[in-house]
Amino acid sequence: MPTPAKGPRLGGGAAHERLMLANLAAQLFEHKQITTTLHRAKRLRPYAERLVTFAKRGDLASRRRVQGAIASRSRTNKSIVHELFENIAPVMANRDGGYTRITKIGNRKGDNAPMAVISLVMEPLSPKQGVVAEAEKAAAKSAPVEEPQVEETEVAQTEAPEATEAPVEETETAEATEEKAEETK
């Protein structure tokens, strides 16, 4: 699991923090959303998303790893692991990340602690978003930089043709176009 941050823990030592995160994750997977303090929700997000990533793999080793992370001795937590692997992981199969959403809901009445709702994003990834992302990738790969096309214009001859000096190539192309115009007449 993600290494705990250095400094003060969530109300106790590192072991207490691990147990608290495991219980919060179990409640999140059971109820699909929970209300907690903003700080706890922010600490829970990477923990829960990592467990969902293991559940998306679906193999026995991943199941045992998740079960070990969410208090393996409890019967109710075994049913939560089953719920995670059988119901939540298939919904998240097309999603590359961002399995949770944190919404701030204001401060708690008693101690004015900032509160938040952390919930699982159970909406399926819309097919339009996938198509747009693929189209942008394809366009970026296949779009070579086009060089601007330069149009050739004829130089209008003034009264003094010697005053304007044109490169040799331009005079040859101008003479060739004049000859073609005379032939068509």
- Using CA atoms, how far residue 119 sits from 32, 33, 73, in Å, is 6, 4, 25
Q: 153: number of CA atoms within 13 Å, CB side?
A: 4
Position 141 scores a pLDDT of: 80
- pLDDT-derived band at 131 (thresholds 50, 70, 90) equals confident
Pairing mode of beta strands 114-120, 33-37: antiparallel
| SS3 at position 76 | helix
Q: Is the pTM of this model over 0.85?
A: no
CA 35, CA 103: separation in Å to the nearest integer? 9
Mean of per-residue pLDDT scores for the chain: 82
Residue 157, classified by CB atoms within 10 Å of its CB into exposed (0-12), middle (13-18) or buried (19+), is exposed
| pLDDT tens readout for residues 15-74 | 888 889 999 999 999 999 999 999 999 999 999 999 999 999 999 999 999 999 987 677
Helices (H) and strands (E) in the chain, counts: 7, 3
Q: Is residue 105 predicted with pLDDT exceeding 80?
A: yes
Position 153 scores a pLDDT of: 74
- Identity (one letter) of the amino acid at 102? I
- 138 compared with 148, residue with greater pLDDT: 138
